Structure 1
Amino acid sequence: MPIVEHLKYNHKTKLFTLFICSLFFLSASEFSFAQKKTYTIVLDAGHGGHDPGNIGNGYREKNIALKVALEVGKIIGKEKDIKVVFTRKKDVFIELWKRGSVANRIKADLFVSIHCDSHTTNAYGIGTFVLGARGNRQNLEIAKRENSVILLEKDYKQNYNYDPNSPESVIGLSLLQEENLDRSLQLASLIQNNLVTKLNRHNRYVKMDNFQVLRETIMPSVLVELGFLTNKKEGRFLNSRSGQQAMAKNIASSIVSFVNQLKINTVDVVSVDKYPVVVEPKDVVQTTQVEYKIQIASSRKKIATKAYNFKGLKDVESIKVGRFYKYYYGKTTNYKNIQSLLKRVKKKGYRSAFIAAFKDGEKISVKQALKTR
């Protein structure tokens, strides 16, 4: 039976909705439309211990990454609604899988890994990375494995109303991945833009790659390459106290901005006696009409939406979001149709393309869109 047909049935819709909540191991009673009070951010300083990272010009990546991570944590830790967790706070070696496991275990909202780059040439500049399509396939298996521990809990059916082996669960995880990728790109763009424009660093852009440390997490995650230690000028800057503080300040402000954006998308909850009342933002117009599109690219450069620029795809739409242009293909209110379009787009070579949902012209998560059906 097609996915859309599954969701038409009330009991399936209820299972799907509760599953999304249970991804974060919350019981139905604990979720209860509760507004999020604290956002947990995991900061990961790359390398450590017997692993120095790259040692361009005699500088040690592990030391620089740690100092910047600790400074970022110090800054954002002052925010009343942000909780900071470090994968390491001193010079110790932590396996890559354990770094992601820390974030998964505490149900973190965000994972940021900090590194320094190297090259055989005199390359320089800032680069920020999110998980590429190949890694997302492995990431899905990790998410399924992380959730399977629910089966070991006593009375898990009463607590979660969720079967990790059901088709609906796999569907839910896939949708969550799409949302995580979008949010990862959102944060990566904030960090990249701040470091480039405010510190006048060379722009190596936001990119997708298959980093192991990003594959191990099941929440929005980014990896920041602060610059190249193999470049004498850049290495000297990154090894300086002033350089590390400047980097940390701008990464921290990007994270705070990202969290503030998350707050905007969270409905407020006002308790009346013991029953929660959901208060929608005043400017939101209630409607059940949702449109789906395929996001195929994102760039700071405006590209003419001609078919020859997009591998033969016609009627590509360009929307400017901040300093970036996002390019969308297709428009439909039918989720099954957009899934077919996504397959077509990926065959064209856009392997990292994903489904985006819009309501009243505003972007919403796919899982929110499906709930309105």
Structure 2
Amino acid sequence: MLVCLDPGHGGSDLGAISNGIYEKDITLKLAQKVKDNLTRKYVVDVLLTREKDEDVSLKDRADMANKAKANFFLSLHVNAGKGEGYEDYIYNSLSVTSKTAALREIVHSVLANFYAGYRCMDRGMKKANYYVLRETDMSAVLCENLFVDSAYDEKLLKDEAFIENLSRAYVEAIAMALNLSKKSSTLYAVQVGAYSSIIYASRVANDLKAKGYDAVIKEIPNL
């Protein structure tokens, strides 16, 4: 399975710009993180249409994916125009396959749910005559991640932790859409509290167990 990730813009093509934020930088950083996390967790190969800040034409991006016979093409972008939130696109043609539509629905569902946790607007699933959607031979989706000229969105785009979490959301979306096999099991731990007394700690743990959750008490140094 080969996924082609397309970090939008690059080189002399800055993309959307606002308050020192360049779309080309965000898309490259995001794509690199998605690639690293995806290949670490799943059995999949990932091709980037650009590995650094360089000019790559739209034709070259599509040709690269087609020549490599990628199974899925995902183009990453950041929006502008005084709006807010997330949206994604597939090619606006009757020739778009039901498979492409289905893959996009999965990607949109995962990303929209992720963004909802940050109180970001879901701008919906859309169609457009974008070159990389039209000229790629495989299923292709283009995603617009927030707006550089929205104060709230801009704050998120400048947050390294947010970009990392966004990359993980894309990993989950891609893995679900393509039914990728895991290399190993990955678990996320959520700490609900820290207590100075074992009595209170036990009480919380028992309440969680009664509700069907696993609960583990660990003694940690009081720094």
Q: Is the 8 A contact 2:107 2:174 kept in 1?
A: no
Counterpart amino acid of 2:61?
R
The alpha-carbon deviation at position 80 of structure 1 amounts to 4.3
1:44, 1:114 within 8 Å by CA — same for their partners in 2? yes
Letter in 1 for 2:89: F
Q: Identify the match of residue 125 of structure 1 among 74, 85, 89.
A: 85
**% same residue:** 29
Shift of 1:197: 3.2
Deviations 1:212-264 (A, max 9, x none): 1211211111111110001122112112211211211111111111122x78x
User: Hey, what does 1:84 align to over in structure 2?
Assistant: 46
TM-score relative to the length of structure 1: 0.46
Q: CA RMSD in A?
A: 1.9
Match of 2:178, SS state, is: helix
Deviation per CA, 1:76-125: give whole Å up to 9, x if none. Answer: 11134211110011100100011111111111111000000000x3x210
The runs of at least 4 aligned residues of structure 1 exceeding 6 Å deviation read none
How far apart are the structure 2 equivalents of 1:233 and 1:193? Answer: 17
What are structure 2's unaligned runs of at least 5 residues? 182-223
Structure 1 unaligned residues grouped into runs of 5+: 1-38, 137-173, 264-373
* CA distance in structure 2 between the partners assigned to 1:189 and 1:60 by the alignment: 24
Equivalent residue for 2:150, pick from 231, 252, 257: 231
Q: What letter corresponds to residue 135 of structure 2 in structure 1?
A: E
Match of 1:74 among 12, 23, 36: 36
Counterpart Cα distance in 1 of 2:85 and 2:35:
23
The residue aligned with 1:287 is none
In our comparison, the structure showing a higher alpha carbon Rg is 1
CA distance in 1, matches of 2:69, 2:2: 8
Output the amino acid matched with 2:113: N
Whether the 8 Å contact between 1:55 and 1:229 is mirrored in structure 2 is: yes
State which of 99, 102, 108 in structure 2 corresponds to 1:183. Answer: 102
Structure 1 counterpart SS, 2:69: coil
User: Structure 2 CA distance, aligned partners of 1:194 and 1:43?
Assistant: 21
Higher relative contact order (CA 8 A, sep 6+): 2
Question: Alpha-carbon deviations, 1:28-65, whole Å to 9, x = none?
Answer: xxxxxxxxxxx110010000001110112221000001
Q: Give, as a single letter, the amino acid of the residue that structure 2 aligns with 1:218.
A: D
CA contact 1:131–1:181 (8 Å) conserved in 2: no
Q: Does 1:259 align with 2:178?
A: yes
* Within-5 A mapping of 1:39-58: 39-58=1-20
| Matched residue SS, 1:205 | strand
Alignment of 1:184-203 (within 5 A): 184-203=103-122
Residue correspondence of structure 1 range 207-246 to structure 2 within 5 A: 207-246=126-165
Q: Does the C-alpha gap of structure 1 residues 199 and 251 become closer, same or farther in structure 2, counting only changes over 3 Å?
A: farther
Whole-angstrom CA distance in 1 between matches of 2:127 and 2:101: 12
Provide the aligned length of Structure 1 versus Structure 2: 181
